[in-house]
Structure 1
Amino acid sequence: MTGLLIRGAEVDGMLLDVRIGHGRVLETGRALPRAGGAEQLVRAHGGALIPGLADHHLHLFATAADLASTSCDPATVRDKEGLARALHRACPDRQGWIRGVRYHESIAGELTAARLDALRGEVPVRVQHRSGALWMLNSRAVAAVRLATADHPGVERDSTGRPTGRLWRADAWLRDRLPPGDPPSLAGLGRQLARYGITTVTDATPSLDAATVAAITKAMACGELPQRVHLLGAPLSSRTTAPEQPGPKSGPWKIVLADSALPDYDELVETIGTAHQAGRPVAVHCVTREALLLLLVVLEEVGTLPGDRLEHASLTPPEVLPTLRRLGLRVVTQPGFLADRGDDYRHDTPADEHGDLYRCASLRAAGVPLGLSSDAPYGPLDPWAVIRAAVQRRTGSGRVLGPGERLTPAQALEGYLSPAQRPGDPPRTIRPGAPADLVLLHAPLAQVLACPEAEMVRLVLIGGHPALSTVT
């Protein structure tokens, strides 16, 4: 494409024409003349033109694998018999394995190897808990990965020392023992992200190895993954490439404070200090009060860097909000979990803590920069669904959790419009010289925000190139 002129789009409340070329916004104004027949003309008919959406926290390969896996979600699999049917319908992959995802114990209780054998035992089966923290293996899978002789601390064992088939926070360990194979293709995920209007993603997978970084780089280079990519798990030794250069960029260094086993205080001091000495801010996974309080005490000692951020902040007591602001921390959270799992939270969390769940409005009011994200595949990938959840905070049964934490639709959208390097900063703007990462909607913004749906996305440009077009 040599150039593009978008005619009559709503930009910041005004009807403007926007000229695009060389991957950037070249000009905005009224009644701009077309620059010759080679310049493509798109009539916006008053539809909003907004910056491309940025998902500030997801897991690329896990989401791609999820799309190709057997769903064990409580929304589709109701009980043990339904789970057995789903696993029996599943076709083994090229290595002969079945992979289930998004399981919750409300379906059939805690799955052990023996219980999975009763559901499907003639082929290796592994099922991931919807939290992403636990894998459950049947006996054939236990034998295939040699779980009996494993020394990983996440291997759960019974009173006799035999593995139960349950494996906690051991993704990398398990991956190394699975049959060799290529990583899942990112092409389908790239297309789905484009359909949602997402032009930039931050992969939040910790401790990425060189092969995984190379696979993401290759997917970007060949166009399978058209989105711009930032990596929280890029090795500390890696150097961020210039913005105009292709390939993924290094983000803050991901640290997981596992709710099942918090790190030693001195260990966390050393981990954060090492990242800061390498010039990398940290992005710290915090889903419990205990993890959050431990982190804040450590940061008081080691200090902070601009860009330090909290991932999830699932339970945030109100008394720490001034500390978050004083330390200059950002928060990247996922209100989509309220719609997806809110009824579980309502039952499992004390009523007086419901307002602490996935805070949004109070963080903004306290001056804490707030970015929104999906945490896909563990939360809903659709940003418009996350926006609805941030506005409504309704569970699946219709209950409202923390009504005082509701965002306005415009505020929720802003959570996806801040820069990937600085989630929670003011939204990016459409101005001459800015990268042409843009989304054209079918209607004015007020109309879209009144009922935010992915179907309102009409045209998506990444670097001026169409990643999605329904223009006729």
Structure 2
Amino acid sequence: MLIRDVDVEGLGRVDVRLGGGRVVGIGRRLAGRGDVDGRGGALLVGLHDHHVHLAALAAEAASIRVGPADAGDREGLVAALRRGAPGEWARAVGYHESVAGELDRRVLDGFAPDRPVRVQHRSGALWVWNSAALRAAGLDGEGDGRFWRQDERLRGFAPPVRLDLRGVGARAAAYGITGFTNADPLPGEGLPELLSVLPQRLVVMGAGDAPVKFLLDDATLPTPDELAASMAAVRPRPVAVHCVTRVQLLVTLLALDEAGPVAGDRIEHGSVIPAETMPWLARLGVTVVTQPHFPVERGQEYATDVEPDDQAHLYRCRSLAEAGIPLAAGTDAPFGTADPWAAMRAAVERAGGEAMDRRAAMDLFAGEPRHPSRARRLTVGAVADLCLLHVPLKEALDLMSADVVRATFIGGRRITPPE
């Protein structure tokens, strides 16, 4: 395939030839008949979402969104849960207490008494079931209907949900995404095969030689020695440790010091990173895979939910990069937006000295799948996972919008619909 007249960073307007799944030639007026006229638009490496939950994202099509921006308030939540036939299961996602306070089975019974209802908290960690759902599942003795990190157990008690994986793949291609890292802590048996219908390249944590994810919760936090032993047990594979509080980060750093870091080790989220820990992170060389858009999407809730002492340390960007800490980003969809361009914009617009320059923000999603902080560039010999834009790179950086994406190629094959 020959793509003519594209803007390649550092080279200007050139032609690019693809063959055997790779870039085999870059230059002006390459010989042969052009297959695609780039019309001066930028040709970039495809984006990689370094932290996403693909099965949950695919289930959104069969779910009711009840987050603050969707339901709004108690009345909106009640209306959303009652929308549907009596007796029909309702699966609601994205809930936060700012909508209608704490939920349990009795509260949900008052909201929707005539149908089985299960509501997932925005964090993804908590499900709340009403009495009708518990009875239908044979779980009526399960107390207040609140289930913390019990997805695997609950899966067999609720009706299966249709997973729109093809829709996920098509929407991602429209964003210019050519790869995903699925970040489920306990990938179910057969998950890589289930996800294989996606056109994007996949890294599935916990499968093959991909990083092994450790999910930390303050209530069940291991000691540093215990976590280090767990890390040592999976070496030489890298680890990806879920860290959303100060204490989780501290335990992880102590454990990495004891177990010894390896290439590919990651800290997921890095929600709270105090300044005094940054030299430690830099010394270990561990990559932080963050979500720069969360302070934008959740700013109102964070203002009340997050301890005042932690506010200045939320989802750092620029300060981590300036400290020499390897940095990348993932959307955490469906628990955040699935649009990486929105995350890039958020990284550029951050307050408190955390704003990144535009090229660095784009690089958060341009890293190697196994080494997310190593930015890829379009060069001869590179894998032909590419994103063609409507506009030159400078204009794309100014706009920072998915609207600039014209076509996406994986292994040199176009996966977006033809124009």
Bin the TM-score by the shorter chain: over 0.9
- Kindly provide the CA deviation profile for residues 236-288 of structure 1, in whole angstroms up to 9, marking residues without a partner as x: xx4xxxxxxxxxxx421011012343224443222211111xx2110000000
SS of 2:364's partner is helix
SS of 1:368's partner is coil
Q: In structure 1, how many angstroms separate the alpha carbons of the residues matched to 2:248 and 2:360? A: 28
Where does residue 209 of structure 1 map in the other structure? 188
Displacement of 1:355 in angstroms is: 2.6
Q: In structure 2, how many angstroms separate the alpha carbons of the residues matched to 1:257 and 1:423? A: 22
Q: In structure 1, how many angstroms separate the alpha carbons of the residues matched to 2:192 and 2:385? A: 23
SS of 1:201's partner is strand
Q: How does 1:145-224 map to 2 (within 5 A)?
A: 145-147=137-139, 163-179=143-159, 181=160, 184-217=163-196, 219=197
Note closer, same or farther for the CA distance 1:17–1:315 as it changes in structure 2 (3 Å cut).
Answer: same
Q: TM-score w.r.t. structure 1 length? A: 0.85
Pairing 1:118–2:115 present: no
Q: How does 1:384-463 map to 2 (within 5 A)?
A: 384-393=341-350, 400=351, 403-425=352-374, 427-463=375-411
Q: In structure 2, how many angstroms separate the alpha carbons of the residues matched to 1:388 and 1:326? A: 29
The Cα RMSD (Å) is: 1.8
Contact 1:458–1:469, Cα closer than 8 Å, also in 2: no
Q: In structure 2, how many angstroms separate the alpha carbons of the residues matched to 1:167 and 1:339? A: 28
SS of 1:379's partner is coil
Displacement of 1:90 in angstroms is: 4.1
Where does residue 396 of structure 1 map in the other structure? none
Q: In structure 1, how many angstroms separate the alpha carbons of the residues matched to 2:65 and 2:44? A: 34
Structure 1 segments unaligned to the other structure (5+ residues): 150-161, 220-224, 239-249, 394-399
Residue 149 of structure 2 aligns to which amino acid in structure 1?
Answer: R
Displacement of 1:78 in angstroms is: 1.6
Displacement of 1:351 in angstroms is: 4.4
Q: In structure 1, how many angstroms separate the alpha carbons of the residues matched to 2:189 and 2:158? A: 18
Contact 1:196–1:454, Cα closer than 8 Å, also in 2: yes
Where does residue 213 of structure 2 map in the other structure? 254
Contact 2:62–2:162, Cα closer than 8 Å, also in 1: no
Contact 1:11–1:48, Cα closer than 8 Å, also in 2: yes
- Kindly provide the CA deviation profile for residues 358-414 of structure 1, in whole angstroms up to 9, marking residues without a partner as x: 011111111111011100010111001000111112xxxxxx4xx211111111000
Q: In structure 2, how many angstroms separate the alpha carbons of the residues matched to 1:439 and 1:341? A: 30
Residue 420 of structure 1 aligns to which amino acid in structure 2?
Answer: P
96, 104, 107: which is aligned to 1:104?
96
222, 241, 245: which is aligned to 1:263?
222
400, 412, 419: which is aligned to 1:464?
412
Displacement of 1:67 in angstroms is: 3.0
Where does residue 3 of structure 2 map in the other structure? 6
Contact 2:6–2:42, Cα closer than 8 Å, also in 1: yes
Contact 2:61–2:163, Cα closer than 8 Å, also in 1: no
SS of 1:263's partner is coil
Displacement of 1:352 in angstroms is: 4.8
Displacement of 1:329 in angstroms is: 0.5
Where does residue 125 of structure 2 map in the other structure? 133
Q: TM-score w.r.t. structure 2 length? A: 0.95
Contact 1:122–1:140, Cα closer than 8 Å, also in 2: yes
Q: In structure 1, how many angstroms separate the alpha carbons of the residues matched to 2:195 and 2:415? A: 17
Displacement of 1:182 in angstroms is: 6.7
Contact 2:105–2:131, Cα closer than 8 Å, also in 1: yes
Structure 2 segments unaligned to the other structure (5+ residues): none
Where does residue 231 of structure 2 map in the other structure? 272
Pairing 1:372–2:329 present: yes
Where does residue 30 of structure 2 map in the other structure? 32
Residue 69 of structure 1 aligns to which amino acid in structure 2?
Answer: S
Where does residue 338 of structure 1 map in the other structure? 295
